[in-house]
Amino acid sequence: MSRATIVTVDDDPMVSAAIARDLRSRYGGDYRIVRASSGAEAVEVMRRLLLRDEPIALVCADQRMPGMSGIELLAHVREQVPDAKLLLLTAYADTDVAITAINEIGLDHYLLKPWDPPEERLYPVVDDLLGDWRRAHPEHTSDVRVVGHRWSERSHDLKTFLARNHVPYRWFDVERDEEAARLLGLADATTADLPLVLVPDGETLRAPTILELAAALGLRTTAERELYDVCIVGGGPAGLAAAVYAASEGLSTVVVEQSAPGGQAGQSASIENYLGFPRGLSGADLAGRALAQARRFGAELVLARDVVALEARGPVRAVRFDGGDIEARAVIVATGVSYRTLEAEGLPELIGRGVYYGANASEASQCQDDEVYVVGAANSAGQAALNLARFAARVHLVVRGAGIEETMSEYLVERILASETIEVHLRSEVVAAAGDGHLERLTLADRDTGERVEVEASWLFIFIGASPRTDWLGDEIVRDDKGFIVTGNDLKVMEAADPSRAGAAVPAGAAGGAAVRAPFALETSLPGVFAAGDVRLDSMKRVASAVGEGAMSVYFVHRYLATI
């Protein structure tokens, strides 16, 4: 791919020279910097670039220019180069106009002039914009290539792992792409070897496990140290927030994640109510930013490890997984929740073959012009429906209740009801699924009349409820009847309400048999083990609250470590 271009537009020669100078100083090695002195000149510059098929990464335009304002120019850019990042330079008096442009033309960011010093006011903004652009426009010469069948559960799992870990890859379907057959021949492979993964400068992988794929990509799958101050189990918003605060405060920190950073939130196409992002951001973007921040402070991430047990070894807590363990003086459990299983005839046999729990934002394009069904009525289901509707012929939102207003944020409800390609089926449920090798038909039932109707469907995405996976914690960690971890004062409340739990729900004590103390707010029934985010009993089940609990848990880790 040709070196991408950054276009700057300003009619003031001194300002134009200054912005080009600052951008060239930091980005000139990777991007070509092109100046234009008016909107009309910029339009012509971009026309020539597009004719040569040269990518435009960023357009930075001043708002107050004669003939064509910055917003007018950037609106034109959005039409001609929809994937370019748009940055508006403006004065304080024009901030209302800039905010309006965020909604109307998809402005990515506005920056008040002057931007001195650029290290503090310009470069962090541009770093984020170009980082997002690069992730969406990887160099194909270094892409991982995956050959498989689109109705293969293993293929789906591998693609999900790659996408959620921000590993660029190209997908070749053996039934649709001629290149797939060529690659199979080059690798001397058969359909029994699918999915086939071709890693640049590495061995060809035949039907690899997630752990094998992670190792081949150079992703860390083992810990560096023998003992850490804190081990965080789970890399969702709560876990990543805990990692940022723990590592930034000098604690040796490791995060163990089974799949990829971000948790359920990492699969969201758009999180629009997260503080500080007026245009919203994708779950993958949020996870990528948080992970980069945690790594900057020195936190480690160990991937593709499924934790199976937690052990107390004197003053040390050990997190065990297949093939090893990690020891730490404190543990934060931030494993989040998974979607509950939908009970429907024929459904289990089609998991990964058209039936999926949750949905990655990147999967929407595979549903081009198809009939897609989404089960659920919470925000995650609404966000998925809107994202899938960009590609599908029609999206059917199947809801058990009488409405979605009580379970979904208002901004999502308004968009779903206004969409011409989303149909909401209230008081309905999926009761059966069928297909030859992959999903082909669904049976829907009316919950009031019992009437059933069979519909054609190739895709079903399920977003129902929250189920924590906490069985690996053992009997020392008190959970409620649904598996959510009980912490802090709730331990005493539970014991008071149910005396039969008195043997397990003892208040956390100091290590080594010291005097018993009350558990800290996010501490479990085992001293030194804390819970944060959705896995904790009575948590809010929101990204922002999970981040807050992750940060707060580190405060209590410090207090605990001071007692041992």
Helix (H, G, I), strand (E, B), or coil: what is residue 99? helix
pLDDT given for residue 500 in this prediction:
62
Question: Which residues, 6 or more positions from 399, have their beta carbon under 8 angstroms from its beta carbon?
Answer: 376, 377, 424, 425, 426, 427, 428
Say which CATH superfamily domain 348-462 falls into: FAD/NAD(P)-binding domain (3.50.50.60)
Question: For 114-140, what is the HEC assignment?
Answer: CCCCHHHHCHHHHHHHHHHHHHHCCCH
Q: For the chain, which residues make up each domain, given as ranges?
A: 5-136, 140-210, 227-336+478-561, 348-462
Query: Sign of the C-alpha dihedral, residues 233, 290, 539, 399?
Result: negative
Query: What DSSP line would sit under 488-543, residue for residue?
Result: TTHHHHHHHH-GGGTTT-PPPB-GGG--B-PPPTTB-SSTTEEE-GGGBTT---SH
Name the residue with higher pLDDT: 213 or 492.
213
Structure-token pair, residue 363? 């999967």
pLDDT class for 387, splitting at 50, 70, 90?
very high
pLDDT over 70 (residue 180): yes
In the chain, the percentage of residues whose pLDDT exceeds 70 is 96
State the fold for domain 140-210: Glutaredoxin (3.40.30)
pLDDT over 70 (residue 503): no
Helix boundaries (H) for 419-460: none
- Give the CATH number of domain 227-336+478-561: 3.50.50.60
Count of other CB atoms within 10 angstroms of residue 295: 15
pLDDT over 90 (residue 182): no
5-136 and 140-210 share one CATH topology?
Answer: no
Q: Choose the weakest-confidence range: 122-131, 295-304, 487-496.
A: 487-496
The tens digit of pLDDT for each residue in 16-52 reads: 999 999 999 999 999 999 999 999 999 999 988 886 7
Q: What amino acid occupies position 9? A: V
Q: Half-sphere exposure of 228 toward its Cβ, with a 13 Å CA cutoff?
A: 32
pLDDT over 50 (residue 508): no
Contact 368, 267 (CB under 8 A): no
Name the residue with higher pLDDT: 10 or 93.
10
The tens digit of pLDDT for each residue in 188-228 reads: 899 899 999 998 777 889 999 999 999 999 999 999 999 99
Average pLDDT over residues 330-350: 95
Query: Sign of the C-alpha dihedral, residues 388, 241, 469, 486?
Result: negative
Strands lying side by side in the sheet with 109-112: 32-36, 5-9, 56-62, 85-90, 109-112
pLDDT class for 255, splitting at 50, 70, 90?
very high
pLDDT over 70 (residue 545): yes
Alpha-carbon span 148 to 537, nearest angstrom: 41
Name the residue with higher pLDDT: 407 or 201.
407
Nearest in space to 293 (alpha carbons), one of 233, 246, 231: 246
Instruction: Give the phi and the psi of residue 210 in degrees, each rounded to 5.
Output: -60, -40
Q: Choose the weakest-confidence range: 194-203, 253-262, 264-273, 537-546.
A: 264-273
pLDDT class for 499, splitting at 50, 70, 90?
low
Instruction: Give the phi and the psi of residue 542 in degrees, each rounded to 5.
Output: -135, 150
pLDDT over 60 (residue 449): yes
pLDDT given for residue 541 in this prediction:
86
- Give the CATH number of domain 5-136: 3.40.50.2300
pLDDT given for residue 141 in this prediction:
57
pLDDT given for residue 507 in this prediction:
45
Alpha-carbon span 537 to 333, nearest angstrom: 12
Nearest in space to 291 (alpha carbons), one of 336, 219, 241, 231: 241
Residue at token pair 């990829």: 260
Query: Sign of the C-alpha dihedral, residues 271, 275, 280, 285?
Result: negative
Contact 509, 519 (CB under 8 A): no
Q: Choose the weakest-confidence range: 42-56, 75-89, 489-503, 546-560.
A: 489-503
pLDDT over 50 (residue 513): no
Average pLDDT over residues 540-563: 95
Helix (H, G, I), strand (E, B), or coil: what is residue 454? strand
What's the mean pLDDT when you consider all of the chain? Answer: 91
DSSP-derived secondary structure letter, 34: E
Classify the phi-psi angles of 93: left when phi > 0, otherwise alpha if psi is within -120 to 50, otherwise beta.
alpha
pLDDT given for residue 325 in this prediction:
96
Count of other CB atoms within 10 angstroms of residue 502: 11
Cis upstream peptide for 82 (omega within 30°)? no
Question: Which residues, 6 or more positions from 447, have their beta carbon under 8 angstroms from its beta carbon?
Answer: 400, 427, 428, 429
Query: What DSSP line would sit under 247-278, residue for residue?
Result: HHTT--EEEEESS-TTTTGGG-S-B-SSTT-T
Contact 137, 55 (CB under 8 A): yes
pLDDT over 50 (residue 511): no
pLDDT class for 142, splitting at 50, 70, 90?
low
pLDDT given for residue 250 in this prediction:
97
Q: Choose the weakest-confidence range: 140-144, 146-150, 434-438, 486-490.
A: 140-144
Instruction: Return the ∠ at Cα 504 (arms to 500 and 506), rounded to 5°.
Output: 105
The tens digit of pLDDT for each residue in 164-179 reads: 888 888 899 998 898 8
pLDDT class for 501, splitting at 50, 70, 90?
low
